[in-house]
Structure formats: C-alpha cells, structure tokens
C-alpha cells in the first residue's frame, strides 16, 4: 500500500468517526420516535458556533467547550420536543416532517441574521499541528476529534445497555405499546431521546469546530450525509449508524483519491443505492 493511499485511508477513518457521532443522534431519535429530525444538522451548526463564540469572546478552547455544547443542545432539544414536536406526535407524519423542517429553516435563517453568512474558523486551538508517522502525516485536531467521537459513541452504547434509563429507551424503541404496559413513561423517554440525540450532535459540533469552517449553512454539508448513514446502517440501529459512518467516510475519501474529489459524494450515494437495493433494511436494520 502506498504511503499516500495509507494517508487517505486514515483521513477516511477520521472523518468517518465524526460522521458516525452525528448520525447516531439522528438514528436514535428515529428509532424511538419514528420521526425524521430535519433540524439535526442545524443543531450541529449551533454547537460549532457555540464553540466559536466561547473561544472568540472568552478564550475558551473548543476542547473545553464540549460540556457547554452538550448541555446547551440537550436543553434546546428538550424544549423543542416539549413545545413543538410533542404537539404533532399523534398527528399525521407530514405534520411531523413540517415541524422539524420549519425548525431547521428558522435556525438557519436566525444564524444568518445574527452572525452573517461569513465563514469563520478558530485559528489557534489548543490542539493543532500534525503527528508524523514516517512520511504519513495525521492532523492532531482531526485525530483527537475522532477519538473523542468514538469515546462518546461507546459511552452512549454503555448507557443504553447498562442503565435503567437506557434500557427503558431501548424498550420503547423495540415496542412502544409493550413498554407502556410495563409502566414506562414513553412521553418522558421521547423527550429524553430527542434531548440526548441533540446533545450528541452538539458535542460533534464542538469537535468539528477545532478544524472545520464555521458558517450558518455548514449543517447542510453534513445533514444529507447523515441521512444516508442512518438509512445505510438501518433506521434506528446505533451500531449500524456507527459502522455506516466509518464506511462512508472511507469510501468518500478513497473515491476522491482514485477518481476525482468532485465525484466523492456521487460515489458515496452510488454505494448507498447499491447497498439498499441488495439489502433494503440497511446493514444492521
């Protein structure tokens, strides 16, 4: 394997880990509530801007803004569920789509109004530079962000499998009616799942702000890929979203390397279409 190809493979794994963390929150909300949160990618943008402004105004490094982003997006997700999404949970599916789509448009336009469409970047985060492995260079911010994404994903997995609250969420995901008969407060589980999913993407936003451009439409770049990951991994499957995120990161990067960077997204969606044609329920659905 050539050194350049090895470097591309490593880059694919790193961006794939970020994709996984973003998509896990989305698939968790779908698995529990059966709704598509179109505002998910805009929550990512809010997390990135929160890190940016904490750094610009108060000198707080993105690494230390992660808890703030997690709590802020948790509260925001909880409020949006309680006062908007919960009102249409028993309504037609189109109403649920319109609500989250409307929230997405509102957040994106509010960001343009408040912060302008300009591109921003955190110039000198605490972690910068590269690690050199022979002739292969690895970006330190990307590596730390990806390792952090994996750690958060594992923590979520353990929370769902080992805690009483996590098991209640899984029970609702498997069978809402049976969970209700068992005495589980499904409304509370809905709110908690929406808040946790939002918090996860807020954490991803803090990680991304260490090395990625920050602007109001940044969510759109990751949003479409996230929906593809959720479908490829299997709707509602957290393990599937984790694997699909890494797979798409690698395919995207290697596709750009072997063909042309302009075709990398086309290659990703071609792979997705072929996969769901063979296995419509996704890899682990």
DSSP sequence for 65-126: HHHHHHHHHHHHHHHHHHHTGGGGTTS-HHHHHHHHHHHHHHHHHHHHHHH-S--B--SS-S
pLDDT tens digits for range 90-149: 878 788 888 999 999 999 999 999 999 999 999 888 888 888 877 778 889 999 999 999
Cα angle: 95, vertex 97, 103; to 5 degrees: 100
pLDDT digits (tens, 9 = 90+) for 34-58: 888 999 999 999 999 999 999 999 9
% of the chain exceeding 70 in pLDDT = 99
pLDDT mean over 157-173: 93
Q: Is 54 left (phi over 0), alpha (psi -120 to 50) or beta?
A: alpha
Closest CA relative to residue 79, chosen from 67, 71, 25: 71
List Cα–Cα distances, 114 to 44, 109, 210, in angstroms: 17, 9, 22
User: Residues 179-234: pLDDT tens digits?
Assistant: 888 889 999 999 999 999 999 999 999 999 999 999 999 988 788 899 899 989 98
Closest CA to 218 of 127, 98, 124, 111: 111
29 DSSP 8-state letter: H
């Amino acid at each position: 394997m050539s050194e350049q190809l090895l470097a591309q493979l490593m880059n694919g794994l790193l961006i794939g880990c970020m994709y996984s963390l973003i998509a896990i929150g989305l698939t968790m909300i779908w698995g529990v509530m059966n709704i598509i949160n179109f505002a998910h990618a805009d929550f990512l943008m809010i997390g990135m801007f929160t890190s940016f402004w904490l750094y610009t105004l108060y000198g707080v490094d993105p690494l230390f803004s992660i808890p703030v982003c997690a709590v802020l997006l948790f509260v925001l997700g909880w409020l949006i569920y309680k006062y908007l999404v919960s009102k249409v949970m028993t309504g037609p599916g189109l109403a649920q789509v319109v609500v989250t789509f409307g929230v997405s448009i509102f957040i994106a336009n509010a960001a343009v109004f408040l912060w302008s469409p300009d591109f921003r970047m955190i110039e000198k985060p605490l972690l910068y530079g590269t690690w050199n492995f022979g002739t292969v260079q690895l970006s330190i911010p990307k590596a730390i962000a990806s390792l952090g994404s994996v750690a958060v994903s594992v923590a979520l997995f353990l929370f769902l499998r080992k805690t009483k609250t996590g098991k209640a969420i899984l029970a609702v995901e498997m069978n809402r009616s049976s969970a209700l008969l068992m005495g589980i407060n499904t409304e509370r589980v809905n709110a908690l799942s929406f808040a946790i999913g939002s918090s996860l993407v807020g954490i991803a936003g803090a990680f991304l702000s260490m090395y990625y451009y920050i602007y109001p439409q940044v969510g759109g770049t990751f949003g479409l890929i996230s929906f593809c990951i959720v479908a490829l991994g299997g709707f509602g499957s957290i393990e599937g979203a984790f694997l699909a995120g890494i797979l798409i990161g690698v395919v995207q990067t290697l596709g750009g390397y072997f063909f042309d960077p302009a075709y990398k997204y086309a290659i990703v969606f071609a792979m997705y279409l072929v996969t769901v044609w063979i296995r419509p329920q996704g890899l682990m659905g």
